[in-house]
Amino acid sequence: MKKLIKLIIFWLFPVSFILMITFAINIFILDFRYSHQSHMIYQPPFSWSKYYTSLYFKKFIINTFVSKKIGLPQVHIYVNEQSKEKLLSRTPNSTKKWVNGSMLNSDGKLQEIQLRYRGDNPQNWLLEKKNLRLKTRKKEMHDRRRYYEYTGFDLELFPINNIAKRMGILTNNSKLVELYINGQSNGVFMQDERFDENYLRRNKIMPINLYKGENHNVEKRIGLDENLYNNPGLWVKTAIFNQKDLNDKSDLKNFLTTLQSAEVRKEDFYNLLEYIDLETWANYLSFMILTKSYQADHFHNVRIAIDPWNGHVYPILQDPHPVKIDDKIYTLEYSKDDLISLLNRNSEFIDKKYDKLLNYVIDKKILFEEINYFEKINEKLEISLKRDPEINAKKMFKEIEIFKQNLKKTERIIKNKLFKKPSVGWSKNLYGINIFVEGEMPASTIELIFDDEIPKWAGFDTNYNGLIDENEHKFFPNKNNSIIIPAKLYANRIAYSLRKTNMFANPNYKIEASPTKFSIITEKNIKPNNIRAQNHFSQEKFFVKYFTNFDAAETNKFNNIIFEELLFNNDKKTQSISGQIKVKKNLVFTKPVEISPGTKFLISEGAHVIFKNKVIANGTIEKPIIFQRDKKKAKPWGSVSLIGKKTTNSEISNIIIDGGSGGYYNQVSFTSMFSLHNTSNIFIKNLKLINHSKYDDMMHVIYCDDITIDNAEFMNAPGDAIDVDISTNIKINNSKFINSNNDAIDFMESEALVESSFIYGSKDKGLSVGESSNILIYNTLLEKNNIGIAVKDKSIAKVLHVSFRDNEIQLSAYRKNWQYGGGGSASIYRSIISAERNLLEVSNESDLEINDTSIIGLNLMEEKNILIKNVDFLDYSSEQPNKKSQVVSKDLELTHPLYSNLQVNRNQNRGYDFKN
């Protein structure tokens, strides 16, 4: 027996020894790669033995006992072992080299792809569930997406991303899937988007600079201060504004410069607000409060896009994670970077943010929707989670329940904060009274109650000089012997640190409300007997406590009293302009403007005339309104532009724009001499544009909605006559486009109607319908253009009653920009196509339908992808002059037949109708 035992030990020991050494070496290599290989990666100790033991056990259970039912949507990827090994062969850089693989697409076919791991942290690719980035071929995209990212399911990340999406914040369109690799379930993953140019286009944003702010892990810069907002050199571009050099970061530099000077100079704070769309950022911050998702801070997880077309900076949510914050230090103005900390000190911004919070918590119940979402997907999620090698399904569901409870709790906490009675007091002073506001909530609708004598007026002394100045409003008594001031008073927000080291880092850094006094002066210094105020959010009224002795600071430069817009909208005061206006430098109108007929703007080289508010510029035929160079031989001026939502409902008629070009105004770019940026409901009639130079377009419409251009004339455009980008409801009627050097009308991601117009002699395209546009062309003549209509990149063109005459290529449908994943689709109905040679080009990815139309001349079209119904083919020589189709004079007056008059008869009522 002893011998036997000895023998067993003798043979067992070397085997165990070898196994153990092998195991140990593998662990050492793994751990080395995990924690000791990459620059600036610090991981807590990781027990690989425990991890692998539980992993293999779980896999055994999954393979043996767990059902094969379909849970979440499945994604099947196939990659050979060699490629997998290649990815981990020489870490960390090898993880970023693409290897070949394949994916099962929705048709059940295998599609070739390339894949790699993503993330600098080895946690992303050393464990069993690896985070992947896939790319398809350019020709084989799905839903205009080429890149797909797969990240292991994270309970904190996924629902927060969903909440952000519902709130309209730019973020990942994340989807839960079950990822299979080589036929084996790899568990639940989040299918994410990559932030690049394609992402911007899918979100209806132009290709602009998208900046990534990461000064963390492998991307940490040695020896440099880590604050992103203090150094444009720390940012990297992930999408590029193609009109500037790849390495140009001037837009970011300008933004950061403005941000820094905004803290010290009030006028620069207003310049900063030109970058910041308050709606967007208030929305973003209210999201951060609701989800406590403060993952973006001064050194990492920041993504912003700087849009030179509307001048705005957009935040893009990256890696949202709730952060544990001590309730004792947490406020609604909790800030982790320079930009947010500055915005959180501005009363107007705070007000908008609180309004948004109220809306999401009370009206939209946005957190509640997320709870419902989990309930909907519960069953499918459970099925897939049971097959997840790393996640314990039971534990996960418990965590989901806790998460749901936390969401409910957050809703309650926010509601309680918003509905809390504001901390307000009042006292008497030499000139009137002081109202003190403390705490987060504002005091609103201040009611001064008088018993005996009633003053004739009362007003806020905003500059504390003891007087009501001209720009300070007066309020008058009502029937109830009180004066109601419809204003919101916020306490100052002060930035300070609790510790001397790392002052700007949390939890040391705080933005806190500090007691603030507001001075009210009454007529004859008559003091009220009582004051009542209201919580703006709960609408509850309360009496304000009187103090004999109380002191507080005056409002700081970021704190303005917020008056109700209706009463104190400065914008109501309209400026009238007439006569000759010499414009030597940029002329910017921030208030509504009315321009009289016959007004002439004489504009110097490079100067712009910019309207940031409503403009009514109705000239007459005899006395048009003219924008021209200040001297005949002067160099071109810049642009006449309408920028921003406040210009909505503007009217422009009988206008001549002569001799402009384009340029820059602060951070906004103009590529035309007449520009409409980010506006809506604009009516333009009798517009003439001539002598444009230097820049691409004569007129540029971008980010607009509901724009009518009626009877416009575009002569000899050096580039495009009109460029329409990411706009909807655009109507161009009764207009002429003569001899454009490039395209007459160029559409990108837009929806429009082109009606009763004449497009002649364009050196490239008469109409360029591109990049997912949807255009209806009706009763229009396209003559002697290089290409009559070009339809490309998943765009749709519907052509009705149009004459194509003598264009080199009558119509072309093709794929140009791979980002859209397809060609163009065109339908021609009841039209005339005539030329000696009628060339119609339709690529493999495109299609064309021609219905009830005449084709006069040689037919040069390949009939692949062309559907022809009820079409006459006639010889060119047999074309009879047709009064309806002949151009008889230069001065064209276009009319169109009413649709109800159309006959079904062949060749009748096709094309346009010209009158002499």
Footprint of other proteins on 369-428 (CB under 8 A):
none
The reply on whether position 53 binds other proteins by CB under 8 A is no
- The Cβ of residue 406 has, within 10 Å, a number of other Cβ atoms equal to 14
Q: Which is nearer to other proteins, 334 or 509 (CB)?
A: 509
The reply on whether position 515 binds other proteins by CB under 8 A is yes
Instruction: Compute the residue count for the chain.
Output: 916
Q: Which is nearer to other proteins, 31 or 746 (CB)?
A: 31
Is the sign of the CA dihedral 192, 198, 202, 208 positive or negative? Answer: positive
Could you give the CA distance from residue 663 to residue 388 in angstroms, rounded to a whole number?
Answer: 56
Could you give the CA distance from residue 353 to residue 285 in angstroms, rounded to a whole number?
Answer: 7
Q: Least distance from C-beta 266 to other proteins, angstroms?
A: 10
The answer to whether 234 and 228 are in contact (CB under 8 A) is: yes
CB neighbour list of residue 1: distance below 8 Å, 6 or more residues apart: none
Region binding other proteins by CB under 8 A among candidate stretches 226-234, 397-405, 409-417, 894-902 = 226-234
Torsions phi, psi for 51 (to 5 deg)? -60, -50
Region binding other proteins by CB under 8 A among candidate stretches 445-453, 474-482, 502-510, 747-755 = 502-510
Which of 108, 183, 223, 881 contacts other proteins by CB under 8 A?
Answer: 223
Could you give the CA distance from residue 658 to residue 318 in angstroms, rounded to a whole number?
Answer: 46
Q: Least distance from C-beta 31 to other proteins, angstroms?
A: 6
Q: Least distance from C-beta 33 to other proteins, angstroms?
A: 8
Q: Least distance from C-beta 131 to other proteins, angstroms?
A: 17
Q: Which is nearer to other proteins, 467 or 503 (CB)?
A: 503
CB neighbour list of residue 471: distance below 8 Å, 6 or more residues apart: none
The reply on whether position 585 binds other proteins by CB under 8 A is no
- The Cβ of residue 262 has, within 10 Å, a number of other Cβ atoms equal to 25
Give the DSSP H/E element, type plus range, for residue 272. helix 266-275
Q: Which is nearer to other proteins, 76 or 557 (CB)?
A: 557
Residue that has been written with the tokens 């020709």 in this structure: 139
Q: Footprint of other proteins on residues 68-107 (CB under 8 A)?
A: 90-94
Q: Least distance from C-beta 618 to other proteins, angstroms?
A: 44
The reply on whether position 54 binds other proteins by CB under 8 A is no
Region binding other proteins by CB under 8 A among candidate stretches 19-27, 159-167, 703-711, 867-875 = 19-27
Q: Least distance from C-beta 218 to other proteins, angstroms?
A: 6
Region binding other proteins by CB under 8 A among candidate stretches 46-54, 76-84, 659-667, 693-701 = 46-54
Site string for other proteins, 281-320 (x = CB under 8 A): ----------------------------------------
Q: Least distance from C-beta 573 to other proteins, angstroms?
A: 30
Q: Footprint of other proteins on residues 813-872 (CB under 8 A)?
A: none
Which of 1, 5, 15, 222 contacts other proteins by CB under 8 A?
Answer: 222
The reply on whether position 509 binds other proteins by CB under 8 A is yes
Which of 27, 273, 393, 634 contacts other proteins by CB under 8 A?
Answer: 27
Could you give the CA distance from residue 75 to residue 110 in angstroms, rounded to a whole number?
Answer: 12
Which of 192, 297, 333, 338 contacts other proteins by CB under 8 A?
Answer: 338
Which of 8, 9, 12, 21 contacts other proteins by CB under 8 A?
Answer: 21
Region binding other proteins by CB under 8 A among candidate stretches 182-190, 369-377, 491-499, 615-623 = 491-499
Q: Which is nearer to other proteins, 265 or 532 (CB)?
A: 265
The reply on whether position 224 binds other proteins by CB under 8 A is yes
- The Cβ of residue 590 has, within 10 Å, a number of other Cβ atoms equal to 15
Which of 182, 243, 478, 502 contacts other proteins by CB under 8 A?
Answer: 502
The DSSP letter of residue 553 is B
Could you give the CA distance from residue 464 to residue 554 in angstroms, rounded to a whole number?
Answer: 8
Which of 554, 594, 705, 764 contacts other proteins by CB under 8 A?
Answer: 554
The reply on whether position 750 binds other proteins by CB under 8 A is no
Tell which residue, 228, 503, 511, 168, has the closest CA to residue 343: 511
The DSSP letter of residue 863 is -
Could you give the CA distance from residue 635 to residue 663 in angstroms, rounded to a whole number?
Answer: 13
Q: Least distance from C-beta 129 to other proteins, angstroms?
A: 20
The reply on whether position 122 binds other proteins by CB under 8 A is no
Q: Which is nearer to other proteins, 497 or 590 (CB)?
A: 497
The answer to whether 444 and 487 are in contact (CB under 8 A) is: yes
Could you give the CA distance from residue 119 to residue 171 in angstroms, rounded to a whole number?
Answer: 18
| Token couple for 891 | 């001065």
Could you give the CA distance from residue 262 to residue 282 in angstroms, rounded to a whole number?
Answer: 18
Q: Least distance from C-beta 54 to other proteins, angstroms?
A: 14
Could you give the CA distance from residue 427 to residue 405 in angstroms, rounded to a whole number?
Answer: 44
Number of residues that bind other proteins (CB under 8 A): 74
Q: Which is nearer to other proteins, 39 or 409 (CB)?
A: 39
Pairing between β-strand 745-748 and β-strand 765-770 as defined by DSSP bridges = parallel
- The Cβ of residue 216 has, within 10 Å, a number of other Cβ atoms equal to 16
The reply on whether position 498 binds other proteins by CB under 8 A is yes
The reply on whether position 213 binds other proteins by CB under 8 A is no
Region binding other proteins by CB under 8 A among candidate stretches 303-311, 487-495, 649-657, 785-793 = 487-495
The answer to whether 8 and 14 are in contact (CB under 8 A) is: no
- 683 CB-side CA count, 13 A: 6
The reply on whether position 557 binds other proteins by CB under 8 A is yes
The DSSP code sequence of 132-176 is EEEEE-GGG-BTTB-EEEEEE--TTHHHHHHHHHHTT-B----EE
The DSSP code sequence of 727-787 is -EEEEEES-EEE--SS-SEEEES-EEEEES-EEE--SSEEEEEESS-EEEEES-EEES-SE
Distances (CA, A) of 234 to 251, 272, 687, 840: 14, 21, 47, 51
In whole angstroms, how large is the CA radius of gyration of the chain?
34
Q: Footprint of other proteins on residues 127-146 (CB under 8 A)?
A: none
Q: Which is nearer to other proteins, 549 or 916 (CB)?
A: 549
Q: Footprint of other proteins on residues 228-287 (CB under 8 A)?
A: 229-233, 247, 253, 256, 260-265
CB neighbour list of residue 224: distance below 8 Å, 6 or more residues apart: 215, 231, 233, 234
Single-letter amino acid, residue 452: D
Which of 7, 49, 378, 645 contacts other proteins by CB under 8 A?
Answer: 49
Q: Least distance from C-beta 342 to other proteins, angstroms?
A: 8
Region binding other proteins by CB under 8 A among candidate stretches 123-131, 473-481, 510-518, 682-690 = 510-518
Q: Which is nearer to other proteins, 263 or 764 (CB)?
A: 263
Which of 8, 9, 24, 61 contacts other proteins by CB under 8 A?
Answer: 24
Single-letter amino acid, residue 289: I
Q: Least distance from C-beta 640 to other proteins, angstroms?
A: 33
Cis peptide before 92 (omega within 30 of 0): yes
The reply on whether position 556 binds other proteins by CB under 8 A is yes
Q: Which is nearer to other proteins, 500 or 864 (CB)?
A: 500
Which of 390, 472, 512, 651 contacts other proteins by CB under 8 A?
Answer: 512
| Token couple for 550 | 């109380």
Region binding other proteins by CB under 8 A among candidate stretches 159-167, 495-503, 771-779, 907-915 = 495-503
Region binding other proteins by CB under 8 A among candidate stretches 59-67, 285-293, 501-509, 841-849 = 501-509
Could you give the CA distance from residue 488 to residue 355 in angstroms, rounded to a whole number?
Answer: 12
The reply on whether position 47 binds other proteins by CB under 8 A is yes
| SS3 (DSSP) at 103 | strand
